[in-house]
Structure 1
Amino acid sequence: MTPTFRAALWMIGSIGSFSAMAVAGRELSARFDTFEVMLYRSVIGVIIVVTLAGATGAWRQINTRNFGTQLLRNLAHFTGQNLWFLAVSLIPLAQVFALEFTSPLWVIVLSIFLLGERLTATRALAAVLGFIGILIVARPDIGNLNTGILAAAGCAVFFALTNVLTKRLTRTQGITTILFYLTTLQLIFGLISAGYDGDIALPTADTAPFLLLVGACGLLAHFCLTNALSLAPATVVVPIDFVRLPAIAVVGMLLYGEVLDVWVFIGAGIIFAGNYLNLWFETRKPHIW
């Protein structure tokens, strides 16, 4: 198999994992609040990461350098993920994914302030296209703008902040350290947020499989995506990732009777155009090493 074909197979795994996590999150929303879902997701994540790190000896890489950045990164991710789970419980799944796809465009904006990167004309155009796409998907007005839309749009901003801080961490930290703090810190955040009132909903025979699905798919999705990016350029991988939108739209229609909204697809197409334009230009710039 060619590297591109192997990357496509990894992306199928990523798309399936993200979609399964969205369905599991919605199924859990009637019994658990978002903090409780994140608590159990983090418990499962800690078990997986610690087990793999111990089995491979990678636990020796874990250190306390850049702890402040680790803390800020995981606060951003915890906030974004809670908003994401809130959004999937309130609005059509396709609308959530379409707004989530603006995250790379927010990275452009945040990188200027946090990484000192320059705002080029292409990046500015990509950001503008993303904003236009948001307006088409959300179609904000007094009667249409709701908590779910605001949560989905907000999660994209916090995911972008997470990605920018992750990029900063990768300059000095390995993947094992990043994943260790990702799971352990968010376990602490989840325990505090879910347990502050002394009442944490416990898993049942009906909900345990969905909680396991959320925890496993959360890590598996990013593992598949990382492998895909290691095999093929981002300009190949990102268009495949956008298949998540029609895929989750069909899932939402079959499982929940959600209507296929043409404006969501049009807005997502404009968001994709902004993402792809920026990627295409960036990968063709001469790099000085």
Structure 2
Amino acid sequence: MTPSIAPPMERRLLGIGLVMLAFFLFTGIDTSAKWLGLSGISAIQIVFVRYGIHLALASAISFPRYGLGLIRTNNLGLQILRALALLGMSLSNFIAVQYLPLTVTGAIGFTMPLILCALSVPILGETVGPRRWTAIGVGFVGILIIVRPGGEAFHPAAFLSVAAAFFSAFYFLLTRRLAGVDSAATQQFYVAIFATIVLAPFALANWAWPDNMGAWIAFFAIGLFGFFGHQLATIAHRFAPASVLAPFSYFQILFLTASSWLIFNQPPDIWLFIGAPIVICSGMYIWLRERSLAKPVTPIAEPR
């Protein structure tokens, strides 16, 4: 039995509530990854655990219902490329959060819509006008304000956060290409099994168990946050269009700020308050511009 796509329903408030809860769970992924990294667990093992638990949950829930239909794909090449992009994003991000506050990695991550807009020209053949190119440039000025290259507070891990944003943009571009090709269940299965198989030899060769209760909680929570966060984000799109849900992605900076401050005692600095609004406003402008031109809006399914 091949997984089917559930029909959309018009319940916008429910969709908004679900996607906000999804962003809260996505924040839990970064928080767990940072906690595990600070506990001495390698980034490769953290990513392996995150997708291994995701794979176990997806298989336990979907295989009894769909059987081998879950692994049937109409474009294996795109599925592998998409999984590779998400794997690159997770590795880059999980290393970066060990050295940078969650507020900084989150703010840099908001450049993804800007990068997505720029990459849609060579990859999807879309046309980007001078207004949106200006918004892209302004957004990257905001990032320079946040990371302040050459300053005392600058850390090279900021480049990994930028790389994560690029991988995330590629992930969404490939998700667009796979729209209507394979079901969401099949796509989730492939990203999970690809990362698990590729990283298993490296993670198991240098395996380290958590050595405190907080790390044990994060060890299991990271996979749960990932699986249920993506499920909620997918379900949210059944009840509200992406054009309605897209602006709510920026609320995640509030969750990241709370986690960074309350859990890791890393409050945001003044430069974040200056640079982050510039990045967010640039992304919002591109969203409004694409909406006015009746172009597809980036789906809300933050990859982690």
Q: 1:199 to 1:247 in 2, by over 3 A?
A: closer
| Corresponding residue of 1:231 | 239
Q: What's the CA shift for 1:200?
A: 1.8
Match of 1:35 among 35, 44, 49: 44
CA apart distance, 1:203: 5.2
What are the equivalent positions in structure 2 for 1:119-130 lying under 5 Å apart? 119-130=128-139
* CA distance in structure 2 between the partners assigned to 1:124 and 1:58 by the alignment: 46
Query: Is the contact made by 1:122 and 1:277 (CA closer than 8 Å) also made in structure 2?
Result: no
* Whole-Å separation in 1 of the counterparts to 2:156 and 2:126: 33
Contact 1:46 1:183 survives alignment (8 Å)? yes
Moved over 6 A (4+): none
One-letter amino acid of the structure 2 residue matched with residue 223 of structure 1: Q
| CA contact 2:52–2:192 (8 Å) conserved in 1 | yes
CA distance in 1, matches of 2:284, 2:238: 18
Is the aligned partner of 1:260 residue 2:268?
A: yes
**What is the TM-score when the length of structure 2 is the normalising length?**
0.86
Q: Give the letter aligned to residue 273 of structure 2.
A: F
In the TM superposition, residue 204 of structure 1 has moved relative to its aligned partner by 6.0
Give the residue type in structure 1 aligned to 2:256.
I
Question: Do the aligned residues in 1 keep the contact of 2:45 with 2:207 (CA within 8 Å)?
Answer: yes
Deviation of 1:228 (Å): 2.9
Q: Is the 8 A contact 2:70 2:189 kept in 1?
A: no
Between the aligned partners of 1:229 and 1:219, the Cα distance in structure 2 is 16
Q: Which residues of structure 1 form unaligned runs of 5+?
A: none
Of all paired residues, the percent bearing the same amino acid is: 25
Q: Which residue of 2 aligns with 1:19?
A: 27
Instruction: Give the SS at the match of 2:268.
Output: coil
Aligned residues between the structures: 284
RMSD: 2.1
Matching residue's letter, 1:100:
G
Select which of 44, 51, 55 maps to 1:46: 55
Report SS of the residue matched to 2:98: helix
The match for 2:206 among 191, 199, 204 is 199
Who is 1:140 aligned against? 149
Distance in 1, matches of 2:60 and 2:212, equals: 25
TM-score where L is the length of structure 1: 0.90
- Secondary structure in structure 2 of the residue aligned to 1:90: coil
Tell me by how many angstroms 1:262 deviates: 2.6
**Does 1:167 pair with 2:168?**
no
Q: Contact 1:77/1:158 (CA < 8 Å) preserved in 2?
A: yes
Change (3 A) 1:171 1:12: closer
SS of alignment partner, residue 89 of structure 1: coil
**Structure 2 regions of 5+ residues with no counterpart?**
1-9, 296-304
Is 1:8 the counterpart of 2:16 in the alignment? yes
Alignment-derived partner of residue 185 in structure 2: 176
Deviation of 1:94 (Å): 0.5
